[in-house]
Chain A
Amino acid sequence: MKYVSEYRNAVLVKGVIEEIRRAVTRPWTMMEICGGQTHAIVRHGIDQLLPPEIELVHGPGCPVCVTPLELIDKALAIASRPDVIFCSYGDMLRVPGSHHDLFSVKAQGGDVRVVYSPLDAVALAEKNPDKQVVFFAIGFETTAPPNVMSVLQAQRLGLKNFSILVSHVRVPPAISAILDSPHNRVQGFLLAGHVNAVMGYHEYPPLAEKFQTPMVVTGFEPLDIVQGILKTVQLLEAGQVEVANAYQRAVTFEGLKPAQAAIHKVFMECDRKWRGIGMIPMSGWCLRPEFDDFNAEKRFDVGTIQSEESPLCIAGQILQGLKKPFDCPAFGKECTTENPLGATMVSSEGACAAYYRYGRVELKGQSVTS
């Protein structure tokens, strides 16, 4: 496929890995922040090809995994209402709330629909004036532009039956929280290129400076990822602290100004709890008060919900890069993709799902690499 296959070219990828091999002189631990990158790394087996000095730890960049339990419970309550068409990206359907998930709500007769764009939900609201259409607006900066556009579009159309349930999170406060932890092992970051495509990377140099940690804007195809790793290794080996861009075909320093303007028009920064991690101050986006009419949390009074987590899996530590999925005693046994114990196993961007689907449990310590 044009503009994809070029970046999966085995000869080019192996060439860059050779360069990494030559550049590395001692062990380095780096984190790929985005779950999409985790999946690409495991799917293409990039981690198997890297020199042993390089350890990749998987970051919290999976919006499905970090959506707080309280909000999922709220989503389940709203989706169960007979007057509601509840729209969501597909992955959210299997994420457990305190007692059930959206699949169960659907099986009980709730009108839960998978959409590929929030604008599809706006169209549903137009077509169904007698129903309340709610979109579950989750994600990092990447999905913020379409999500805010859905609100602006609904406003333009004068729709009174469209609202969004917002659980937006931002990368920079998460990086700050990880690097601020006394347990931190991460020495360099592969930044989430899609986030940077929207936001640019002007937010990151102060972070790199404060924590003396180099960061490299990195894409998602195998060649992009190994180039990001190479640049990170080069910076680490040279003792240079800077934010470099290894994804220049998509990312500029300033990012997409009109998208950022739309985001700031609709959203404002707020405290956000991350599932498995905890409250990270000012790490989220929520709707500005002038958009209260489109705020599902304001529109639907779902009463008091008692949310309760069970301490059964180590998703929290995996999301922070402290543990690998196969460090979990439940991984691949009680906890599988069809019977997940935690969100990291549910989401297609979750680290546990990546490891499970692509067989890291069997491959660990076994020589099946060709």
Chain B
Amino acid sequence: MSDETVNIEGAVCAPPLPHNEQIVMGHGAGGRMSHQLIQKAFLPAFQNPALQAGDDAALVEPGLRQKLSISTDSHVVWPLFFPGGDIGKLAVCGTVNDVAMLGAKPLYLTAGFILEEGLQMDTLQRVIESMRQAAEEAGVQIVAGDTKVVQKGKADGLYITTAGVGVVRDGVSVSGANAKPGDAVILSGTIGDHGIAVLGARGELGFQSSLQSDVAPLNHLIEAMLDVSNNIHVLRDPTRGGLATTLNEIAAQSQVNVVLNEQAIPVHPEVNAACEMLGFDPLYVANEGKLVAFVAREDAEKVLAAMQKTRCGEGAVIIGEVTAEPKGRVLLKTALGSTRVVDMLAGEMLPRIC
């Protein structure tokens, strides 16, 4: 190609590193890069049926009367405190919710703390108190823990890893693989609140908002839903990667198509405004107190009504439905009446959001 003229036949572009050699931030964003990391690095080493099911929690049957739901979740959110929550509340709710998404009643948590030398004792106390309150609200006990301290500069204040166990309700079978054509897709409330609230708390964006993170334990909401229906097929909380990524996971696991109605998806005006400014799509922004449920059509209204009676589900709405084809895809009917595909989050969006 000549440097002097416009190259009309031009066909030049360099292939970048696929980032197979080292970890980059995108591997932790909860989107496709995270999935590929799990597929390539973790699954081949640890393969077993519970892990391979690919749900937020593992369903195990250790020969007891009831099945157990087990999950774990690490928390590196920054800043440690943000409107509506903090790393402690997040660490409790994150695991409680993952355990509950199999239709289980979460019972016990463990908590591992990685503390940075120099962390203020007062800060740690506030986080512990917040965990106590969140555990009380969720009705779980934190029954074991561990503490490690690393040198100044080797961690950023405080990281928390929690693990949890719960018992699956009798007769309940909920999994990301259970979505069926005809199911209604129910969302428990507005999307993107957590991601934008944390981003706002970083104070880097030059805007202030009254927006609160939605971080909350969802197990009581799930109990209320299971109380009224035996036809709840899928429950999942759209955390990192947002609603779009979660629905793509379910569409792929269940080999179905999810069709969303853009106008039905509730978004807080402040989240919308922030997303417009920053060039984000609310469909990809993290939530910590929302769930999507795939429910047999005939039970959808009943489940919706039960959800709307709870604090965490009062904004619940039906946002779409499941069809058979094209398998593994999420489509969105736009407000203008056209249709487009909604893909999984590709790379990094907002680091350290949970």
Contacts and interface: CB of A to CB of B under 8 A. Distances in A.
Interface in A286-321: 308-317, 320
A339 interface: yes
Interface stretch (B7-15, B90-98, B120-128): B7-15
B18 interface: yes
B331 A368 contact: yes
Interface stretch (B20-28, B46-54, B181-189, B217-225): B20-28
Nearest to A182: B8
Given A44-B336, A358-B340, A340 B8 contact: no
A97 B13 CA distance: 9
A1 B13 contact: no
Contacts of B2: 278-279
B148 interface: no
Contacts of A180: 6
B343 A357 contact: yes
Nearest to A176: B6
A96 B26 contact: no
B17 A96 contact: yes
A338 B6 CA distance: 29
A25 interface: no
Contacts of A97: 14, 16
Contacts of A44: 334-336, 338
Contacts of A181: 6, 8
Nearest to B273: A1
A1 B11 contact: no
Interface in B182-209: 204-206
Contacts of A1: 269, 272-273, 276
A331 B278 CA distance: 27
Contacts of B33: 338
Task: Indicate the member of A44, A45, A180 with the most B CB atoms within 10 Å.
Answer: A45
Interface residues of A, number: 77
Contact of A106 (B4, B14, B24): B24
B11 A363 contact: no
Interface string A26-51: 00000000000000001111101100
B6 A49 contact: no
B333 A107 contact: no
A310 B14 contact: yes
B6 A277 contact: yes
B3 interface: yes
B155 interface: no
Given A103-B19, A104-B19, A106-B25, A362 B10 contact: no
B32 interface: yes
A338 B3 contact: no
Given A107-B23, A278-B2, 12 more contacts: A13-B336, A44-B336, A94-B347, A96-B15, A104-B17, A108-B22, A177-B6, A315-B12, A346-B16, A363-B340, A368-B331, A369-B338
Shortest Cβ-Cβ A-B pairs, 7 listed: A359-B341, A45-B338, A316-B10, A96-B16, A342-B13, A278-B7, A337-B346
26 contacts: A1-B269, A43-B334, A45-B336, A45-B339, A48-B338, A69-B14, A95-B16, A107-B22, A116-B205, A183-B8, A276-B13, A278-B5, A278-B6, A278-B10, A311-B12, A312-B13, A315-B11, A315-B12, A316-B12, A316-B13, A337-B343, A338-B33, A341-B16, A358-B343, A359-B341, A370-B337
